[in-house]
Amino acid sequence: MNKFSIDYFQKLCIIITMLQKKIVAVIMGGGQGVRLFPLTKDRCKPAVPIGGRYRLIDIPISNSINSGLKKINILTQFNTSSLHRHIERTYRFDNFSDGFCTIRSAEQTTENTNWYQGTADAVRQNLRYILAFGPEYVLILSGDQLYRMNYMDLAEFHIERKADVTICVNPVARDRAKHMGLLHVDDNLKIKDFVEKPKEDELLDKMKTDPEMLARFGFTVNEDRNYMANMGIYFFNADVLKRILLGNSMVDFGREVMPSNIEHFKMFAFPFTGFWEDLGTIDAFYKVNMSLLDRNPEFNFFDPSAPIYTRPRFLP
């Protein structure tokens, strides 16, 4: 079949739509945001405003919607009132579709009376809801980052490599590397090593990535940004996620789950070459907001091909 024919594109659209329905998105929205205080005095990190009219939570939700993913779970815990109000007013899906944008607050049950102890524990406590619709894949997202991504590119990468787990990566400089999870990969992007927030200079030196390798993966070569960092975006086979979380008591994906499972599962790194910024500190938050004032900012909230949504406001 001619790959440029109408039939080809129709069948391709059907395949993509079928895949989209097999994916459930989970957004981590429970961060206390100590390093963003006092912005987080009365709200959690994902509820912090950015760019004037948006909230940080709008980024992963909008990316999910623009990627055709309509089953979205948001796990919340700390200072949640502002976040809940924003989500409830903004993301109301059609009653006649199977899509949803649902808040999953930390709750006490007969089996568990604890708060979320970490990212992995939050997903574990909500696993029965996440898997209730029988997804084949689970996409786990952070709620405090600025970027634009088509998650179907990530899904295609994951499936092509027959991966169990795929982690999104982006190069960072040394001063940021010590605050992030760092990876080493082989030429096929299979993960060989994972170290969470290395502080020792010797370990930092060991986790550097060769600039030529970064260039081969599509990254712009920059001598200062030669550490391959975990973006906190994970794409799991649903059965693998269940096996990992129910088979142990580990509570954090970056600190425990990923490093301890490299040898047991096929884990790959997806190179994200677009703009990405972790807004976990006041300094990063300030610089990104100021950069939005540039004539041609690196991140454009108003890109018509993939808009960022938020609560509409109308003049009286």
**What's the pLDDT tens digit per position in 88-147?**
999 988 776 778 899 998 887 877 778 888 999 999 999 999 999 899 999 999 999 999
Instruction: Report, as an integer, the average pLDDT of 67-83.
Output: 92
Specify the pLDDT at position 8: 55
pLDDT confidence bin for 9, thresholds 50/70/90: low
When pLDDT is averaged across residues 273-297 and rounded to a whole number, the result is 91
Superfamily of 1-148 according to CATH: Spore Coat Polysaccharide Biosynthesis Protein SpsA; Chain A (3.90.550.10)
Tens of pLDDT, residues 143-160 = 999 999 999 999 999 999
Report the share of the chain in percent with pLDDT over 90.
58
Mean pLDDT, the chain, rounded, equals 89
Question: Residue 282: is its pLDDT beyond 50?
Answer: yes
Question: Where in the chain are the domains?
Answer: 1-148
How confident is residue 6, by pLDDT bands cut at 50, 70 and 90? low
Tens-place pLDDT, residues 38-48: 888 888 899 99
Q: Which of 155-159, 277-281, 282-286 has the highest mean pLDDT?
A: 155-159
Residue 15 Cα distances to 21, 195, 237, angstroms: 10, 37, 18
- Average pLDDT value for residue range 190-212: 90
Cα separation, 241 vs 23, in Å, equals: 13
Contact yes or no for 297/50 (Cβ under 8 A): no
Q: In whole angstroms, give the CA distance from residue 191 to residue 247.
A: 22
